[in-house]
Amino acid sequence: MVTASDIEAAAERLAGVAERTPLHLSERLSAATGAQVWLKREDLQPVRSY
């Protein structure tokens, strides 16, 4: 089972490597589904690996 300390340790290892990426409201998907659809733009990571 993953613990809070495991998550904190992973965050420390990723500091300076992975960047925070924005959320983007997709108007097209929102209109198609009748609900707000937000996309997490992990494709903007510098290594393009997600």
pLDDT tens digits, one per residue of 6-42: 999 999 998 888 888 999 999 999 999 999 999 999 8
Any idea where the domains of the chain sit in the sequence?
19-50
The pLDDT score that the predictor gives to residue 20 is 87
Between 49 and 41, name the one with better pLDDT.
Answer: 41
DSSP character string of the chain? ---HHHHHHHHHHHTTTS----EEE-HHHHHHHTS--EEE-GGGSTT---
The pLDDT score that the predictor gives to residue 14 is 87
The pLDDT score that the predictor gives to residue 50 is 57
The pLDDT-based confidence of 49 (bands split at 50, 70, 90) is low
